[in-house]
Structure 1
Amino acid sequence: MTGSVEPPPGAGAGGVPRPPAVPPVTPLPGAHRPVTVVSVSAPLRAQFFPDRVGDRLTTVTDAALIDDHAALTRADLAPLLARAEVLVTSWGVPRLDAALLDRAPALRLVAHTGASVKPFVTPELFARGITVTQAGQGMARSVAEVALAFTLALLHQTPRFDHALHAGAGWSRAEQAPPRHEILGCPIGVVGASRTGRAYLDLVRALGGDVSVYDPTLTRANAAALGARLVSLDELLAGSRIVALHAPTLPETRHLLGARELALLPDGAGLVNTARSWLVDEAALVAELSRGRIDAALDVFDEEPLPTGHPLRALPNVLLTPHQAAGTVQGRRRQGEIVVDEIVRYATGRPLSHAVTPEMLARSG
């Protein structure tokens, strides 16, 4: 049943057992304990708020936990919000519009465990003086590592070899693949110098990649400080062996890569997308991949779950993962730590480190 519950004795905010030797967390002087509704499913809560992270959350707040997040409706959420000063959110929370906020007169902070708050944050929150924060920074390293793993897999033709062997191809047939390349000296293009884009850029540079970047918000000096060359999108696509997408969801980035742009990729190039399917015309990508001229590694799709009969599933030159790039143990914990840190800053009257403004919301994914 959806509702507010307390964690069982001996369990943290995730509802998982705590080691008995863990010392208690001491509340900060001068802090008050805000009434906090944690609208995060129990499995995710255990990942975001394990052990000491969960201890801190339940020590610095008067927490009410919503267990059946999947069944959460506006009618379920409204009575729980009546006394809430802080709302901790995850994916799937209802839109916080005027009608719902009318039921939350004490609400002052919305802290999102993920990155994008666009699906549920409305202008009404800002109009009522409610602060919004998010934990996207905690996801950057995890997603960047997956993008790096995708990059290396495409350079070494791992998807083609794997598909051939799983499909029962003979050994000599399975050995056949386009030329393989090392990352050392490899021309790699990064589309979007986001948090994740910068983390990915650092990783590929550390392995010797020759990096260029396309981002309309960067200057040449900014790009140089990141160790990359600032180029146009067309130049990046035509000159890169691997193109990694890390741009936000904006009207101007809708199908940033269509048939024309994909045709600019050199033969044998690879496209890495751990960001958003919004950025690529999926039909055009399927058509280009079907020719076998380029490869791709994808974690995001127009339709999720990806239908079992989708043509991407049958292509031997495509590596697919089910939108799980951010789901590492360490990344989830970092996200929870960021949320708790932000609540502590709020409770002690200090500025937040990851606040989202209306202007930032308009320019973010």
Structure 2
Amino acid sequence: MAAGPRLRSLFFPGDLWDALASLGQLRLPPDDADLSDVATFVRLLDGAEVVVTTWGCAPLSEEVLAAAPRLRLLAHTGASVKAYATPACFARGVRVTQAGDAMEYAVGEQALALTLALLHRLHRFDHALRSGVHWAAAKTAPPRRELRDSVVGVVGASRTGRAYIALVRALGARVLVFDPYLSAEEAVELGVARVGLDELMSSARVVSLHAPVLPATVGMVGARELALMPDGGLLVNTARSLLVDSDALLAALRTGRLDAALDVFDEEPLPVDHPLRALPNVLLTPHEAAGTVESRRRAGEIVVAEVARFLRGEALHHEVTPELLDRMG
């Protein structure tokens, strides 16, 4: 178990810990262990067949795998395993699974919450009242809009994107999607219209990002794309900061023409003196969109079930192949 006590308690509370322990002998790191240190990680993996990872572990490099010849399964409690799985894993026959399905609803729901907050300018009202301005001045904000009948653009029909789509459509939004992997048949099933990125950026009142980080998506929303957004446009990013040119976004936000809600940043933790913190048209959360009690528990349940399937010699339900890994953010 490559996780400290705090993360273990988040993902495997009570009965789930008992269920995991029933599958085999658990080896735990010291409470203060730095699992990003290769030597420390190697000691934990000595003789192990399965490793359960959370965050902050060293990757399963050639060096690590050479010291753990019995290792056969990496089970990650998060979504993207790119930081931990390597080509060497697949070359050595180490299988990989992850619990990304656990967090799709939580992220979709937070993206909805951020969307509603931006539409109703709650962040601007909160900032004004906390900064001590006069009551009448605090009431001053750009026009507020309802989600019903708003055009919402979704970049990436991923798991979280689809959860968000279902939620905003249930509240009456009309949804445009840019995703080169989304088929016409899938678009009909989701009740959305497929469009190009430029059309989405220029037509949507709200743009919500749900794409993975790939060579083709890094910086896909830059100064040109932000300029296409209508005045008063709203940007929600609960996906990855690298999807957006951060300098261009900061410049656009400083004009006051757009508002944004951001859960992800190029530098985390976000420096206390970062200019985003001072802007009244920005709503910030500290990369916690997936961090609900329910989401963490679902991730633990998925990992326990996957490890049990592996030990029984059954097919894994959430296996990551080299091809899938290439498409993950």
Specify the TM-score bucket, using the shorter chain as the normaliser. over 0.9
Structure 1 residue corresponding to 2:22, chosen from 40, 44, 59: 59
Q: 1:284–1:186: structure 2 CA closer, same or farther, 3 Å change rule?
A: same
What are the within-5 Å matches in structure 2 for residues 77-96 of structure 1?
Answer: 77-96=41-60
Matches of 2:32 and 2:98, distance apart in 1: 19
Kindly provide the CA deviation profile for residues 270-289 of structure 1, in whole angstroms up to 9, marking residues without a partner as x.
00000000100011000000
Question: Helix, strand or coil for the counterpart of 1:225?
Answer: helix
Q: CA deviation at 1:67?
A: 4.0
* Bigger mean CA deviation after superposition, 72-81 or 142-151: 72-81
Q: What is the DSSP-based 3-state SS (H/G/I as helix, E as strand, rest coil) of the residue aligned with 2:28?
A: strand
**Alignment partner, residue 295 of structure 1:** 259
Q: How far apart are the structure 2 equivalents of 1:57 and 1:301? A: 34
Deviates more, 1:113-122 or 1:281-290: 113-122
Q: Which residue of the partner structure matches residue 217 of structure 1?
A: 181
Give, in angstroms, the shift of residue 74 of structure 1: 1.0
Q: Deviations over 1:157-211 (max 9, x none)?
A: 1111111000111111111111111111110000001110011111111111111
State the alpha-carbon separation in 2 of the partners of residues 68 and 278 from structure 1.
33
- Specify the alignment match of 1:187 in structure 2: 151
Equivalence for 2:34: 71
Q: For 1:67 and 1:48, how far apart are their aligned partners in 2?
A: 18
Residues 308-329 of structure 1: CA deviation (Å, up to 9, x unaligned): 1111001000000111111110
The alpha carbon displacement at 1:70 in A equals: 5.7
Aligned sequence identity (%): 58
Cα RMSD after superposing both structures: 0.9
Distance 2:65 2:38 in 1: 11
CA distance in 1, matches of 2:84, 2:16: 25
- From 168, 193, 201, the equivalent of 1:237 is 201
Change (3 A) 1:177 1:258: same
- Tell me which residue corresponds to 1:207: 171
Q: Residue 295 of structure 2: SS of its match in structure 1?
A: helix
**Map of 2:210 onto structure 1:** 246
TM-score normalised according to structure 2 size: 0.98
Matched, 1:172 2:103: no
How far residue 62 of structure 1 moved from its aligned partner, in angstroms, is: 1.3
For residues 319-354 of structure 1, what are the alpha-carbon distances to aligned partners after superposition, in whole Å with 9 as ceiling and x for unaligned? 001111111100000011010010011011110000
Query: In terms of mean alpha carbon deviation, does 49-58 or 75-84 score higher?
Result: 75-84
The residue number in structure 1 matching 2:126 is 162
Match of 2:311 in 1: 347
The structure 2 residue matched to 1:280, chosen from 236, 244, 247, is: 244
* CA deviation after TM superposition for structure 1 residue 61, in Å: 2.1
- Sort the Cα spacing of 1:57 and 1:354 in 2 relative to 1 into closer, same or farther, 3 A: same
Q: 2:261 is paired with a residue of what secondary structure?
A: strand
The superposition leaves residues 56-101 of structure 1 with CA deviations (integer Å, 9 ceiling, x where unpaired) of 0011121112243662221112122121000001111101111110
AA partner of residue 134 (structure 2) = G
In structure 2, do the counterparts of structure 1 residues 275 and 218 end up closer, same or farther at CA, with 3 Å as the change threshold?
same
Query: Structure 1 CA distance, aligned partners of 2:115 and 2:28?
Result: 39
Alignment check: 8 A CA contact 1:70 1:92 kept: no
What SS does the corresponding residue of 2:27 show, helix, strand or coil? strand
Instruction: State the one-letter code of the partner of 1:107.
Output: L
User: What residue identity is the alignment partner of 1:52?
Assistant: D
Q: 1:344 to 1:154 in 2, by over 3 A?
A: same
Letter in 2 for 1:334: R
Q: Secondary structure at the match of 1:64?
A: coil
Determine the C-alpha separation between the residues in 2 that align with 1:70 and 1:307. 26
What do residues 97-151 of structure 1 show as CA deviations (whole Å, max 9, x unaligned)?
1111011111110000111111121100000111000011101111111100000
Q: Aligned to 2:286, what secondary structure does the other structure show?
A: coil
Aligned to 2:76: 112
Following the alignment from structure 2 to structure 1, what is the Cα–Cα distance between the partners of residues 176 and 283?
23
| Gap runs ≥5 in structure 1 | 1-37
Contact 1:42 1:67 (C-alpha < 8 Å) held by counterparts: no
2:259–2:282 contact (8 Å) kept in structure 1: yes
Q: Which of the two has higher C-alpha Rg? A: 1
Q: Is the 8 A contact 1:40 1:69 kept in 2?
A: no
Structure 1 residue identity aligned to 2:21 = T
Structure 2 CA distance for aligned equivalents of residues 80 and 47 of structure 1:
20
Indicate the SS of the match to 1:40: coil
User: CA–CA distance in 2 between the matches of 1:41 and 1:262?
Assistant: 41
Determine the structure 1 residue equivalent to 2:63. Answer: 99
- Does structure 2 retain, via aligned residues, the 8 Å contact 1:249–1:279? yes
1:245-269: CA deviation from partner (whole Å, max 9, x where unpaired): 0000101111110000000111111
Give 3-state SS (helix, strand or coil) of 1:78's partner: helix
- TM-score, L = length of structure 1: 0.88
